[in-house]
Amino acid sequence: MKQRIISAAIGLVVLAVILMFFETWLLNMAISAIAVMALYEFAAATKISQNKVLAFISYMVAAVVPFIPREQEFDLLPVVILPYMFLLFCVLLFSHKTTRVEQAALTFMVSIGVPLALSTAVYLRDAYGLALGMFYVILALGSAWFSDSAAYFTGKAFGKHKLCPNISPNKTVEGAVGGVVVGTGLLLLTALLFQLAAPLWGMAVEVNYIFLLCIAPAATVVGMVGDLSASIVKRQFQIKDFGNIMPGHGGVLDRFDSVLFCAPFIGVAVKLLPVVTVL
């Protein structure tokens, strides 16, 4: 537990530094680095890394995606994706005896999906600006991490009924309920603190707590689906964690598996139900 808390504290310090430079290219660089590390862990876990050319190409693509401007995404993504598909098939042609089509397909899905999901932070910044964009990013991170921590401690204290024993034996129904309830409460508290702090950025905002109350529980559930999805991969490839860069938490992908689902969900949800109105 002590190790888990220390790792979380260090991670929060790093996050705080990145958020200090939210409006700069440091955010893009940080997301690019996280995407590449996550993909590296995934490639090692699934043995894709045994084909070094296939793995290297996927790392390069994952590194580039977070730098594609939001307003040019539809123009530039095909420029990246189509040559990438061509290269993947070239790799298959030259290494078909040792590399399967399923490996190339899985590589393509993850190397595009992971950086695109994480790049939601960049798109939120570019669409909503410093204060509001940062709030929505924190909302996305909180949806994943608040509910995950709440589910962990609630499950430890009250857990009796297994949620998905064949996928993640330690998760309980009681923990999941606690994650949704406490996670939602913490997101509402985060919104209240943002509303109170907004004048520091020279702006007055009004939070629509009804909209947030519609979004928050769903976001926490989406985060749990992300966590369970990662658990399926780990179970099928017979590993406990994707990495060990964060003692007590595992690897980068272990820490961001829920974020990969929550960030795009929040990005879409706040467009449909604007949580914050700038007065």
Mean pLDDT, the chain, integer: 89
**Under DSSP, is residue 278 helix (H, G, I), strand (E, B) or coil?**
strand
More confident residue, 194 or 15: 194
Strands 276-278, 205-207: pairing is antiparallel
The model's pLDDT over 110-148, given as tens digits with 9 standing for 90+, comes to 999 999 999 999 999 999 988 899 999 999 999 999 998
pLDDT tens digits, 25-44: 999 999 999 999 999 999 99
pTM attached to this predicted model: 0.91
Higher pLDDT, 100 or 215: 215
Per-residue pLDDT, averaged over 188-208, amounts to: 91
| Burial of 103 per CB tally in 10 Å (0-12, 13-18, 19+) | buried
- Residue 167: pLDDT above 90? no
| pLDDT band (50, 70, 90) for residue 248 | low
Share of the chain above pLDDT 90, in %: 52
The phi and psi torsions of 276 (rounded to 5 degrees) equal: -120, 135
pLDDT confidence tier of residue 249, bands split at 50, 70 and 90: low
CA–CA distance, 65 with 141 (Å, rounded to integer): 20
Contacts within 8 Å (CB) and 24+ apart, 172-180? 175/151, 176/151, 176/224, 178/150, 178/151, 178/153, 178/154, 179/147, 179/148, 179/150, 179/151, 179/154, 179/220, 179/224, 180/147, 180/217, 180/220, 180/221
- The pLDDT of residue 247 is 67
Instruction: Tell me: pLDDT of 52 over 70.
Output: yes
Condensed to tens digits (0 to 9), the pLDDT of residues 219-230 reads 999 999 999 998
Tens digits of residue pLDDT in 62-72: 999 999 887 77
